Structure 1
Amino acid sequence: MSLLVLAGGREQANTEAVQDISQEGRRVAVAINNGTLGPEIGGSGGELLQVVDEQGRVVAASPRMRGRAPVRFPPPVPTDDRREGSSCDVDAPGGSCFLIVEYRVDTGTSTRYVFALTPEPGLLPQPKLALLLLLGTLAGTLLVGYGTWRSVGRTLRPVDEIRRELDEITATDLERRVPEPSRLDEVGRLARSINATLDRLERAVARQRAFVVDVSHELRSPLAALRMELELALSDPDDTDLPEALRAILANTDRLTAVVDDMRALTRLTADRNFPREEVDLTELADEEVLRRPLRTQVTVLAEGAVTVNGGRRELARLLTNLIDNADRHAASEVTVILGTEENPPTAVVEVIDDGTGVAPEDRERVFERFARLAEGRHRDAGGTGLGLAISRDIAEAHDGSLVLTDRLDGSPGARFVLRLPR
């Protein structure tokens, strides 16, 4: 803005200077026409005036231009008797560049050229105005800077409070939250996002702690049984049934191995879901898992043909094994595995149905929790680790699928696990 004002002031000074010298030049032209112009052009004494004939000789000049070389400036165009401009190639006092107004005067017998000059205004033709503008600009800049500093300070104050609160939050007090500003701006949204992240972190840490406690409990039981069998055998070696004691030790060792294997599977799924994938026939995989081990009940696999998905063969095999083993433990006498497909969208569907006691509706999500314990009904028996269904759901979700527990469609007692995987 200041530059525009200065530029406008300089333009105004140029205009006024041209008007002044134009008036002086017209005065001299009138004197030529009247025949009253002598060798010296009178005036106030400060004018820069010069009259040149057609041969370029000075015939009259003001006192300050006396003895100076003729002004070199293009003559007016034939259709006009006036020309104005500027030149820095002029022999005149008061400056290096001059504004020039030239008049052509025809007397009938000769032609005269009248030059009126004035020094060209500088960059700051009005120093006082320029100084005022400079001071005003500095003052405005300081005010704007101070206002910006105050505004930024008010804006960033909540950020500093959030930072201090985050610095004080540790793993032992995750229930603390950062302050949320009342206004819903970027800082407010940042605070809400941080608190939402802290909520998820608190829940994750709580699940981890609960998992560690549950694992400790699950490992303690078979370890205590192992210790008891060994202490009994050592306390009375002669009366100990060694084969029976070894079988009991082996059973508890198998249980420990199963818990550790399931924990490793959960850890691997949580840490990395980018396992190798290939075309897997779920019908073939279900048949293999049923025939691979002896089962307590009769297990029937029903399928109209191959049901293929793209996934990890080892992970899907574990998923089907967990579902079939769980159904076999809780069924009365029969387990049915039904495989099929759905369209829109293309989906592979696996149903594992048992004829056991079933699960109450309020507990159907809890059975997928790690080491979940139900108050009654399908409690976790000695044959399971409490991690199988949790692992199964994690594998299904790693394949962008789902695993749910529902009632049997025929209304009979029992449970129906439904696995859906994209084809």
Structure 2
Amino acid sequence: MNGVRDTDYYTSGLGGGKLTLWMNNKSYIATDQTVRRLGPDGTQDASFIEMNAGPYFSSLQGGDYHVFPDGRVLMTGTHQLNDPVRGFVGYYNLIWFSNTGYLDTTRVHRQGNGSITRIREQPDGRFLCSGNVQWYDGQPVSVVFRVEADGAVDPSYSSPLEGIPTDIGSSFRGVGDIEPLADGRTLVGGYWRLAGSTDTIGVMRLMPDGSQDPSFDPVPLSASGAFTNWIFPATNDILPLPDGRMIIVGNFDHVRGVPRGGIAMINADGSLNEEYFVGASCGNYSSPEVNYRYIAGIVPAPDGSYYIYGAYRGYNDGTTSYWPWEQGFVSRLYGLNVGVREHERFAFKLYPNPANATTTIELQHLPSAATVSLRDALGREVLQQRLSERSTTVQLQALSEGIYTLQFISEGKVIAQEKLIVQP
């Protein structure tokens, strides 16, 4: 809570990449090549083997991964399989693993001509992918493409994004984040351009079929040489807000030509919000070898605050400048009144709360096209359920204990939300 290291949690080199919380306070963590599972105290979970210990898999270039509720893992990158009995021999880019870490021999593993670096699950169970890949499953794909729940390419999805040519004859296809939205659209952050254009883009919104959303003006970013030693100004992470706005963080010091130091609020139409993060900026993190100054991610906390993290020392919130020894690498932000106010005419009861196995929702009236979404402390959707009656029971047995946010959605918009505590 106060930023002091938790000495009860094992500090190790088991991984340094993406961390995904799972049930019973266990978690998954990415290494440079594979994924490991950790116990509640941070030590390695022996019930999930080292992936390379299995008989059919050899890791090469790591990518991204997705954890299913039962603990299975879908991993990307570029890796080698040697399973001639089932016909999987060679390099593969989308690979399935059981919840014990072994290669899942019941699944069809997929191939492309390059590494997939990002994968995100849509609410319907399909996946959005991106990476240095132009062909997948024998078909051409764009910078962002979609695969079915079984990993097969979805030919009906096509995005207008293309890579940035480099001086070595290749193209940079940099997607920092993919955020599927409840209404089927998608926010994409990174560094690329639209087909047929030379203008670079940091954020845009796509329609459910991958086409450009005409109601959103793509967001350009820029970064001066003094700001970062990264070549490309890019969005690293997007935090969608319930009212359609979003917070973006990354390697940039200007948004639409206006100063913003690695963090900015974007309105639902793509315009720059002039109320939040005016004058905000992170400071340099320097050593004899590097000069970094960027924010890698932003995570909401249950109490309404936000955590940012990245390579920086010192932070100016636009009002107060904090010295490098006060703030660095991880900071907590307060005072962002960006949540959703409860709809004045929407009344409901939620009981029991705290809950364990189930909780019940009672509505005064049933909104049109209503669903309820449950999000964990990291903002990830862990459950979605349609509301067809004024009284609905929500099953919680598959969830780990913790604080969740229950959102009521009507016609694609969040109309109310409530904290829900799940107990063992």
Give the helix-richer structure, 1 or 2. Answer: 1
- The TM-score with structure 1 as length reference comes to 0.22
User: Which protein shows a greater Rg?
Assistant: 1
Higher relative contact order (CA 8 A, sep 6+): 1
How does the TM-score come out when normalised to structure 2? 0.22
Q: Which has the higher strand share?
A: 2
